[in-house]
Structure 1
């Protein structure tokens, strides 16, 4: 007579659900939640919006302040565009 553990191991749906969860967690940890990286804004920074300036700074780990004005962010963008990359 099969035990409850025997019956549980013969069910396919729970196995595939568990496998899907493990695969999803592995993919998330490998890509770090950044599966579709955001694109850098292009063109003249003078014409960028507040969000584009913030995104450009975030992509370079320059941590833009959420309280900064667009002019302040633009100043930081220009200062870091001139700086040589290492």
Structure 2
């Protein structure tokens, strides 16, 4: 007499669920964690607009203040940018 475990493993649903999980993990590892890249502003931060500065800070979870001026945001961006290595 088959047990509930036997009946559960004989159906195809657990197999397809497992296959979907394995496929998702493989896709994530192939593309890395940047599967859906953010639209970060590029170029010189001195020429960025207010919106570009807030986007850059928001993408890094630095919580820009909605009341901050562009100069204040630019100062925060510069202080949080990584130094390029040679």
* Superposition TM-score, scaled by structure 1 size: 0.51
Q: Residues 58 and 28 (structure 1 numbering): CA distance in 2 closer, same or farther, change over 3 Å? A: farther
- d(CA) in 1 for partners of 2:27, 2:41: 26
- Please state whether the residue corresponding to 2:2 is helix, strand or coil: coil
- d(CA) in 1 for partners of 2:53, 2:11: 53
Q: Residues 69 and 23 (structure 1 numbering): CA distance in 2 closer, same or farther, change over 3 Å? A: farther
Q: Residues 51 and 3 (structure 1 numbering): CA distance in 2 closer, same or farther, change over 3 Å? A: same
Aligned to 2:18: 18
Structure 1 unaligned spans of 5+? none
What count of residue pairs does the alignment treat as equivalent?
81
Cα RMSD for the two superposed structures:
3.8
- Please state whether the residue corresponding to 1:21 is helix, strand or coil: helix
Partner deviation per Cα, 1:38-81 (whole Å, 9 max, x = no partner): 2332466455333311344567x6x6452243221224446788
